[in-house]
Amino acid sequence: MTQNLDNVFEQLASLKADLEDLRSTYKGVSKSYMVALGTLSDLTIHSSEAAKRAAKSTEQSRIAAMNAMMAAKEASGSPELLLVVQSAVTAAVAAALAAVESAAAAAAASAAASAAVAHQAEESLLKASSEAASASRMAADSAAEAVKLSIEAQAVVESLKNIIPKT
Protein backbone atom coordinates (compact mmCIF):
# COMPACT_ATOMS: atom_id res chain seq x y z
CA MET A 1 0.00 0.00 0.00
CA THR A 2 2.85 2.35 0.86
CA GLN A 3 4.41 1.63 -2.48
CA ASN A 4 1.13 2.55 -4.22
CA LEU A 5 0.98 5.80 -2.28
CA ASP A 6 4.55 6.56 -3.22
CA ASN A 7 3.60 6.06 -6.89
CA VAL A 8 0.60 8.36 -6.50
CA PHE A 9 2.76 11.03 -4.86
CA GLU A 10 5.35 10.70 -7.64
CA GLN A 11 2.66 11.10 -10.26
CA LEU A 12 1.18 14.07 -8.39
CA ALA A 13 4.61 15.69 -8.21
CA SER A 14 5.09 15.09 -11.94
CA LEU A 15 1.64 16.53 -12.71
CA LYS A 16 2.38 19.52 -10.50
CA ALA A 17 5.67 20.17 -12.37
CA ASP A 18 3.86 19.82 -15.71
CA LEU A 19 1.18 22.23 -14.54
CA GLU A 20 3.82 24.78 -13.50
CA ASP A 21 5.48 24.43 -16.91
CA LEU A 22 2.13 24.99 -18.61
CA ARG A 23 1.43 28.06 -16.46
CA SER A 24 4.84 29.50 -17.24
CA THR A 25 4.38 28.87 -20.97
CA TYR A 26 0.88 30.36 -20.88
CA LYS A 27 2.16 33.51 -19.16
CA GLY A 28 4.87 33.90 -21.82
CA VAL A 29 2.45 33.33 -24.68
CA SER A 30 -0.10 35.67 -23.13
CA LYS A 31 2.51 38.40 -22.71
CA SER A 32 3.70 37.94 -26.31
CA TYR A 33 0.10 38.02 -27.54
CA MET A 34 -0.58 41.28 -25.72
CA VAL A 35 2.57 42.85 -27.20
CA ALA A 36 1.60 41.64 -30.69
CA LEU A 37 -1.94 42.93 -30.28
CA GLY A 38 -0.65 46.33 -29.15
CA THR A 39 1.72 46.45 -32.13
CA LEU A 40 -1.07 45.54 -34.57
CA SER A 41 -3.28 48.20 -33.05
CA ASP A 42 -0.54 50.82 -33.38
CA LEU A 43 0.16 49.72 -36.96
CA THR A 44 -3.50 50.04 -37.90
CA ILE A 45 -3.88 53.48 -36.36
CA HIS A 46 -0.63 54.76 -37.92
CA SER A 47 -1.55 53.29 -41.30
CA SER A 48 -4.95 54.91 -41.14
CA GLU A 49 -3.37 58.26 -40.28
CA ALA A 50 -0.86 57.88 -43.12
CA ALA A 51 -3.68 57.17 -45.56
CA LYS A 52 -5.58 60.26 -44.41
CA ARG A 53 -2.48 62.44 -44.77
CA ALA A 54 -1.73 61.03 -48.20
CA ALA A 55 -5.33 61.78 -49.21
CA LYS A 56 -4.90 65.38 -48.04
CA SER A 57 -1.65 65.62 -49.99
CA THR A 58 -3.38 64.26 -53.06
CA GLU A 59 -6.14 66.84 -52.72
CA GLN A 60 -3.53 69.62 -52.49
CA SER A 61 -1.83 68.26 -55.60
CA ARG A 62 -5.19 68.26 -57.37
CA ILE A 63 -5.70 71.91 -56.40
CA ALA A 64 -2.18 72.74 -57.66
CA ALA A 65 -2.90 71.02 -60.96
CA MET A 66 -6.19 72.92 -61.26
CA ASN A 67 -4.48 76.25 -60.56
CA ALA A 68 -1.71 75.49 -63.05
CA MET A 69 -4.29 74.53 -65.68
CA MET A 70 -6.23 77.77 -65.05
CA ALA A 71 -2.99 79.78 -65.30
CA ALA A 72 -2.23 78.07 -68.60
CA LYS A 73 -5.70 78.95 -69.94
CA GLU A 74 -5.38 82.56 -68.76
CA ALA A 75 -1.94 83.01 -70.27
CA SER A 76 -2.95 81.33 -73.52
CA GLY A 77 -4.78 84.51 -74.53
CA SER A 78 -1.40 86.10 -75.24
CA PRO A 79 0.81 84.11 -77.62
CA GLU A 80 3.89 85.89 -76.27
CA LEU A 81 3.29 84.14 -72.94
CA LEU A 82 3.95 80.68 -74.38
CA LEU A 83 6.79 80.07 -71.91
CA VAL A 84 4.49 80.96 -69.03
CA VAL A 85 1.87 78.56 -70.37
CA GLN A 86 4.47 75.82 -70.78
CA SER A 87 5.67 76.38 -67.20
CA ALA A 88 2.10 76.18 -65.94
CA VAL A 89 1.63 72.91 -67.81
CA THR A 90 4.86 71.56 -66.34
CA ALA A 91 3.54 72.48 -62.89
CA ALA A 92 0.21 70.80 -63.63
CA VAL A 93 1.95 67.61 -64.73
CA ALA A 94 4.19 67.63 -61.64
CA ALA A 95 1.17 68.15 -59.41
CA ALA A 96 -0.60 65.26 -61.12
CA LEU A 97 2.42 63.00 -60.59
CA ALA A 98 2.54 64.03 -56.92
CA ALA A 99 -1.15 63.23 -56.66
CA VAL A 100 -0.62 59.78 -58.14
CA GLU A 101 2.28 59.09 -55.73
CA SER A 102 0.20 60.26 -52.77
CA ALA A 103 -2.70 58.09 -53.88
CA ALA A 104 -0.34 55.10 -54.07
CA ALA A 105 0.90 55.89 -50.55
CA ALA A 106 -2.68 56.08 -49.32
CA ALA A 107 -3.46 52.73 -50.92
CA ALA A 108 -0.39 51.13 -49.33
CA ALA A 109 -1.26 52.53 -45.92
CA SER A 110 -4.84 51.34 -46.32
CA ALA A 111 -3.62 47.86 -47.24
CA ALA A 112 -1.38 47.78 -44.16
CA ALA A 113 -4.31 48.77 -41.97
CA SER A 114 -6.49 46.10 -43.55
CA ALA A 115 -3.81 43.46 -43.06
CA ALA A 116 -3.52 44.34 -39.39
CA VAL A 117 -7.28 44.11 -38.96
CA ALA A 118 -7.30 40.73 -40.69
CA HIS A 119 -5.11 39.43 -37.86
CA GLN A 120 -7.10 40.98 -35.04
CA ALA A 121 -10.67 42.11 -35.67
CA GLU A 122 -11.37 44.69 -32.99
CA GLU A 123 -13.98 47.38 -33.50
CA SER A 124 -11.54 50.29 -33.16
CA LEU A 125 -9.18 48.66 -35.66
CA LEU A 126 -12.05 48.00 -38.07
CA LYS A 127 -13.00 51.68 -37.89
CA ALA A 128 -9.41 52.80 -38.51
CA SER A 129 -9.11 50.41 -41.44
CA SER A 130 -12.39 51.67 -42.89
CA GLU A 131 -11.18 55.28 -42.58
CA ALA A 132 -7.93 54.34 -44.31
CA ALA A 133 -9.83 52.71 -47.17
CA SER A 134 -12.05 55.78 -47.49
CA ALA A 135 -9.01 58.07 -47.54
CA SER A 136 -7.45 55.86 -50.20
CA ARG A 137 -10.56 56.18 -52.38
CA MET A 138 -10.56 59.97 -51.96
CA ALA A 139 -6.86 60.06 -52.86
CA ALA A 140 -7.46 58.02 -55.99
CA ASP A 141 -10.30 60.33 -57.04
CA SER A 142 -8.14 63.42 -56.48
CA ALA A 143 -5.26 61.87 -58.39
CA ALA A 144 -7.53 61.07 -61.33
CA GLU A 145 -8.81 64.65 -61.34
CA ALA A 146 -5.25 66.03 -61.17
CA VAL A 147 -4.22 63.91 -64.14
CA LYS A 148 -7.29 65.10 -66.08
CA LEU A 149 -6.41 68.72 -65.30
CA SER A 150 -2.81 68.25 -66.42
CA ILE A 151 -4.06 66.79 -69.71
CA GLU A 152 -6.31 69.84 -70.15
CA ALA A 153 -3.33 72.12 -69.48
CA GLN A 154 -1.27 70.27 -72.07
CA ALA A 155 -4.12 70.69 -74.56
CA VAL A 156 -3.94 74.47 -73.98
CA VAL A 157 -0.25 74.48 -74.92
CA GLU A 158 -0.91 72.41 -78.01
CA SER A 159 -3.69 74.74 -79.14
CA LEU A 160 -1.47 77.75 -78.47
CA LYS A 161 1.36 76.23 -80.48
CA ASN A 162 -1.04 75.83 -83.42
CA ILE A 163 -1.95 79.54 -83.49
CA ILE A 164 1.56 80.92 -82.93
CA PRO A 165 3.41 81.37 -86.23
CA LYS A 166 6.59 79.34 -86.41
CA THR A 167 9.70 81.44 -86.95
Model confidence pLDDT, tens digit, residues 106-134: 777 777 777 766 666 666 667 777 777 77
- The average confidence (pLDDT) of the chain is 77
Higher pLDDT, 40 or 58: 58
Is-contact 59 138, C-beta < 8 A?
yes
The pLDDT of residue 96? 80
Share of the chain above pLDDT 90, in %: 0
pLDDT confidence tier of residue 147, bands split at 50, 70 and 90 = confident
DSSP code of residue 81: G
Domain count, the chain: 1
Please check the confidence at residue 45 and state whether its pLDDT lies above 80. no
Q: With CA atoms as reference, report the closest residue to 133 among 114, 160, 152, 156.
A: 114
Instruction: Print the domain residue range for 87.
Output: 2-163
Mean pLDDT score, 68-83? 78
Give the total residue count for the chain: 167
The answer to whether the Cα torsion of 111, 112, 115, 121 is positive or negative is: negative
Please check the confidence at residue 52 and state whether its pLDDT lies above 70. yes
Mean pLDDT score, 21-38? 78
Mean pLDDT score, 93-105? 80
**Which residues have C-beta within 8 Å of that of residue 96, sequence separation ≥ 6?**
61, 65, 143, 146, 147, 149, 150
pLDDT confidence tier of residue 78, bands split at 50, 70 and 90 = confident
Tally Cβ neighbours within 10 Å of residue 49: 16
Q: What is the CA radius of gyration of the chain?
A: 31
Please check the confidence at residue 63 and state whether its pLDDT lies above 80. yes
Is-contact 153 89, C-beta < 8 A?
yes
Tally Cβ neighbours within 10 Å of residue 154: 17
Tally Cβ neighbours within 10 Å of residue 60: 16
The pLDDT of residue 135? 77
Instruction: Supply the pTM of this predicted model.
Output: 0.62
Q: Tell me the residue type at 18.
A: D
